[in-house]
Amino acid sequence: MLEENRTLEQNLTEVYTKFKIHFYQEMFKKLQSRETSLSIVELFCVEIIYALNNPTIKEFADFIGVSSPNAAYKIACLIEKGYVDKVQNENDKREYHLHVTDKYLEYLNLSQGYVTTVAQRAEERFTEQRIETLNDILSDMSNDLMPEVNIPDLRI
């Protein structure tokens, strides 16, 4: 039975929001000490580039639904700020792949560190059976219930 008759949707929204808000809190702490901070749109773009696991400019543009020139502009800003590099494909010299830099990975650690903390707390609190059930449910949600973001090489 869900606590206080809350719906599954309400509980999922609350957990998702708490993860986001914690990330934003940590991000703002870091941003105040940096000269070249990311705008929110730039942060979204670099997170997508990371998740797509070194996409081409076209793959990135297609995924976010913008023209290649528009995507190229966004990428140029990220390169200028040091969060993304363009790496030439060794087999097809006309093609470039986008790679996030260590500078971005510092931001990622803000988010991932909290996920790790919550997972460790869950493992301490819940039985092995409940952890296995939760893991199965989350896996099913990711693999079967979210086809709109079906990314074969999703980096996690």
Please report which confidence band the pLDDT of residue 78 belongs to, taking 50, 70 and 90 as the band edges.
Answer: very high
User: What local confidence, expressed as pLDDT, does residue 76 receive?
Assistant: 95
Percent of the chain at pLDDT exceeding 70 = 90
**Token reading at 47:** 């997170």
User: What local confidence, expressed as pLDDT, does residue 1 receive?
Assistant: 46
Q: Which residues lie across from 68 on neighbouring strands?
A: none
Nearest to 56 by CA among 89, 92, 100, 96: 96
Question: The pTM is what?
Answer: 0.74
pLDDT digits (tens, 9 = 90+) for 63-77: 999 999 999 999 999
Please report which confidence band the pLDDT of residue 6 belongs to, taking 50, 70 and 90 as the band edges.
Answer: confident
Domains of the chain, start order: 20-146 (1.10.10.10)
Cα 50 to the center of its chain, rounded Å: 7
Contact 66, 44 (CB under 8 A): no
Angle formed at CA 47 by CA 115 and CA 73, multiple of 5 degrees: 165
